[in-house]
Amino acid sequence: MLPGLEAADMPADAVEVGRIADAWGIKGWFKVLPYSADPEALFSSKCWFLLPSEKGAKTFDGVGRLNIKEAKTHSGIVVASAHAVDDRTTADALRGARVFIAKSSFPTPQKDEYYWVDLIGLTVVNREGLLLGQVRELLSTGPQTVLVIEDEAEGQPLQRMIPFVAVYVDDVDLVARRILVDWQPDY
């Protein structure tokens, strides 16, 4: 295992949030490419779990736990430093590593805010109680997010896209794993 990385088990609630792009500076800092436009989970968690890059040379095997000293935005990029990673060579050896954070470490969302990972798999039902399908993914279209719903009709896969805005989404019940929408199947 690399300096700064401790062998660990991946948490059951781990979510992949980004990857390490490159070393940054000479004191062990590294650049992180977040998968979210708002990388708050990277800033709030002091314990990251890494898997080696899927491509290229592997500098470590298995799951490694990295104890973070600091993560911040600097000139439009995310940079971080970790305990026992104190030179450019060690930081460079982390290049390409996939970064996971335990969901339990994520900041608590505000009222009517949801993490995308929590919405995937939820059942979508309209006001009349008609099942429209399950959320398979979400797309960011710039001004709004769109739910991508998959279902079957007459044995054929069917995909619907519903804007994730208050005009169409009446309720999100994470406990019941259901989203209630004002949407008809023929839209």
For position 154, what pLDDT does the model report?
77
Domains 5-105 and 116-181 share a fold: no
CATH topology of domain 5-105: Elongation Factor Tu (Ef-tu); domain 3 (2.40.30)
For position 78, what pLDDT does the model report?
96
Q: Does domain 116-181 fall into CATH 3.40.30.10?
A: no
Determine the Cα–Cα distance for residues 150 and 120; give it in Å rounded to an integer: 11
For position 107, what pLDDT does the model report?
87
For position 148, what pLDDT does the model report?
96
The predicted model gives 120-143 an average pLDDT of 94
Burial environment of residue 180 by CB neighbours within 10 A (0 to 12, 13 to 18, 19 or more): middle
Per-domain residue ranges for the chain? 5-105, 116-181
Determine the Cα–Cα distance for residues 125 and 160; give it in Å rounded to an integer: 12
Segment holding 58, helix H or strand E: none
For position 166, what pLDDT does the model report?
94
Confidence at 64, pLDDT banded by 50, 70, 90: very high
The predicted model gives 154-175 an average pLDDT of 93
For position 34, what pLDDT does the model report?
93
The pTM of the full predicted model, rounded to 2 decimals, is 0.77
